[in-house]
C-alpha cells in the first residue's frame, strides 16, 4: 500500500521517505492534493528485456546508409 505525502512535507521527512522506499514501499508525492511524483525502490517492476519481440516490425529504407547530399550538409536543403 503506497504512502501519500504532500510535497511541502518532503524536506522534513526525507529520511523517513528514503527508509520507506528502501523497505519496498511506494511513496506518492502530491501537490495541492494531486499526485505529482512517485518514489519507488530501484529496480521495482523492471522485467528483463527480451530481444526479438517485434522482429520485422520496422525496416530501414534501402538507401539508409548512403551519404547525405551536400545541400543537406551545407544547410541549403
pTM, full prediction: 0.53
* Better-predicted residue by pLDDT, 51 or 77: 51
Q: Which domain holds residue 29?
A: 1-41
- For residue 54, tell me if it sits in a domain: no
Determine which of 8-12, 22-26, 38-42, 44-48 has the lowest per-residue pLDDT on average.
Answer: 44-48
CATH code, domain carrying 30? 3.40.1620.10
Task: Report d(CA 19, CA 47) in Å as an integer.
Answer: 24
Predicted pLDDT of residue 44: 61
* pLDDT > 90 in the chain, percent: 43
Domain tally, the chain: 1
| Residue 17 burial class via C-beta count within 10 angstroms: exposed 0-12, middle 13-18, buried 19 and up | middle
Amino acid at each position: 500500500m503506497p504512502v501519500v505525502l504532500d510535497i511541502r512535507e518532503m524536506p522534513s521527512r526525507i529520511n523517513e521517505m528514503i527508509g520507506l522506499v528502501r523497505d519496498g514501499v511506494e511513496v506518492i508525492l502530491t501537490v495541492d492534493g494531486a499526485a505529482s511524483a512517485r518514489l519507488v525502490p530501484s529496480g521495482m517492476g523492471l522485467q528483463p528485456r527480451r530481444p526479438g519481440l517485434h522482429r520485422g516490425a520496422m525496416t530501414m529504407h534501402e538507401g539508409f546508409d548512403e551519404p547525405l547530399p551536400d545541400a543537406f550538409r551545407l544547410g541549403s536543403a
